[in-house]
Amino acid sequence: MSYKFYSYDFITNTININALINHMENMLKILSQNDYIIPPKDIIIINKPYSIFFSMPAISSKMGLYINKTGSFFKRNSLDIIPTVNTVVTVFSSITGEVVAVLDGTAVTNIKCAVITAIVTKYCTLLNASKLAIIGAGTQARQQISGILSVRSIKELHVYNRSNHNLTKFINEIKLLYPKLRVLQYSSIKDCILDVDIISTTTSSFEPLCDYDNLKSGVHINCMGAHNSNSREVPKHVLNASLLIVEDIVTAIEEAGELHRNAITVSQLHTMQQSNLQKEQTVFSSTGFALLDLITVDYIINNLVLIS
C-alpha cells in the first residue's frame, strides 16, 4: 500500500479559494443528512499542562470518503514558536477501505475556516460592506481576512491584539499582501470595532475581552476563537441579541452552550431571504464541524491530489 503526505505548503499554494467557496456552497445546498455520518468528537483534556487532544471522524457515501482529523491544542505564550494546534487528516476510500492520502491538518482547517467564513459573510452582509475589524493576530486572523476579502471589497481594516510584537508583524504581512487596504491599529477592542460592518474575533481567550456595547446596527460578527460550554470571546448578551449561525446545532450546544439551540445552520442560509439577514445583527458562532473538513478534503482530493 502506498500513499502520499500532502504538506501545508503544497495545499495552501495550490488551492483556489474561490473555487473551493463555490464547491462548499454547492455541497451544503445539495447534501442531505442521509449523505454523511458525523460522530461526536472524541476529546481528551489534560490540565497540566493545559492541553486538548481530539479526533474528528466523518464519512460520506456521496463523496466516497472517510476522514479523521486528529490533533492537539496546547495553550502557549505569545513567544512560543511551537504552533498552538497540530493536526493531520487521514483520508480513506469509503468504497474500498484503502488509504487515499494523509493531509496536513492545519492547512485543511485554515482553508476550511476561510471558506466557511466567506460563505456566511456573503449571506449576512451588504454587498457594499467596506470596514472590517479583526481581533487577534494569529493564523485564524489571517484566514478571516483571506475569506472575507474573497467576497467583499473591504477598504478599511481595523486591527487589535494584546501583543504589540505580534500585531506589528501581522500588520506588515497584511500590508504586503493587500497594498490597497487601509490598515488601522487600535489599543482597545472598543475603539477597534466602532462603526465597522464586519467583526472577526480570533483569540484564544475563553472569556469576553470587551462588552461590545458600541456595535453598529446590522453588524455581522464571525466568532471563530476559543470557546467552552459556558462562554466564548463575545459576551452572552451580544449572542442573545443576535441571530446565531452555527455549523451544527447539536455540536454548538454541547461545546458553546444552550443559547445556541435556536440558531440556524450554515446549510440553511441559502433558504433564507438574504436582504433580511443583512439587516439583522448576526453572529457566526463557530465551533467546528467535521462535515466542512470532509467537503474541503473532497475538493482537495479531486482537484489537487489526483493531479499532483
Q: What is the mean pLDDT of residues 148-170?
A: 94
What is the domain extent for residue 148? 113-290
N- to C-terminal Cα separation, the chain: 18
Residues 80, 193, single domain; the answer is: no
Q: Which residues contact 258 (CB under 8 A, 6 or more apart)?
A: none
Q: Which residues contact 290 (CB under 8 A, 6 or more apart)?
A: 38, 41, 56, 57, 58, 67, 69
CA distance 69 to 122: 27
Nearest-10 Cα torsion for 267, 248, 113, 234: 120
Residues 64, 8, single domain; the answer is: yes
Q: What's the pLDDT at 307?
A: 52
Eight-state DSSP code of residue 301: I
Residue 3 has pLDDT above 90, yes or no: no
Residues 160, 197, single domain; the answer is: yes
Q: Which of 126, 161, 115, 141 shows the shortest CA–CA distance to 12?
A: 115
Q: Contact, 249 vs 85, CB < 8 A?
A: no
Residues 140, 150, single domain; the answer is: yes
Q: Which of 18, 56, 66, 46 shows the shortest CA–CA distance to 297?
A: 66
Residues 299, 282, single domain; the answer is: no
Residue 75 or residue 141, greater confidence = 141
Instruction: Quote the number of domains for the chain.
Output: 2
Residue 108 or residue 82, greater confidence = 108
Q: Contact, 76 vs 84, CB < 8 A?
A: yes
Residue 1 — very low, low, confident or very high, per pLDDT cuts 50/70/90? low
Residues 130, 85, single domain; the answer is: no
Residue 204 three-state SS: coil
pLDDT tens for residues 270-299? 999 999 999 999 999 999 899 999 999 999
Q: What is the mean pLDDT of residues 61-80?
A: 86
Q: Which of 66, 54, 58, 67 shows the shortest CA–CA distance to 39?
A: 58
Sign for the CA dihedral angle at 120, 138, 105, 230 comes to negative
Q: What is the mean pLDDT of residues 251-257?
A: 91
Helices 164-177 and 139-149 meet at what angle, rounded to 10? 30
Residue 164 has pLDDT above 90, yes or no: no
Q: Kindly report the average pLDDT of the chain as a whole number.
A: 92
CA distance 301 to 308: 10
CATH number of residue 220's parent domain: 3.40.50.720
Residues 11, 93, single domain; the answer is: yes
Residue 214 three-state SS: coil
Q: Which of 261, 266, 257 shows the shortest CA–CA distance to 235?
A: 257
Residues 186, 176, single domain; the answer is: yes
The H-assigned helical ranges of 78-163 are 105-124, 139-149
Residues 94, 242, single domain; the answer is: no
Residues 243, 146, single domain; the answer is: yes
Q: What's the pLDDT at 79?
A: 67
Residues 212, 268, single domain; the answer is: yes
Highest-scoring range by mean pLDDT, 155-169, 182-196, 200-214:
182-196
Q: Which of 306, 295, 301 shows the shortest CA–CA distance to 119?
A: 295
CATH number of residue 61's parent domain: 3.30.1780.10
Residue 76 has pLDDT above 80, yes or no: no
pTM of the predicted protein model: 0.92
Residues 144, 275, single domain; the answer is: yes
Q: What is the mean pLDDT of residues 179-184?
A: 96
Q: What's the pLDDT at 205?
A: 83
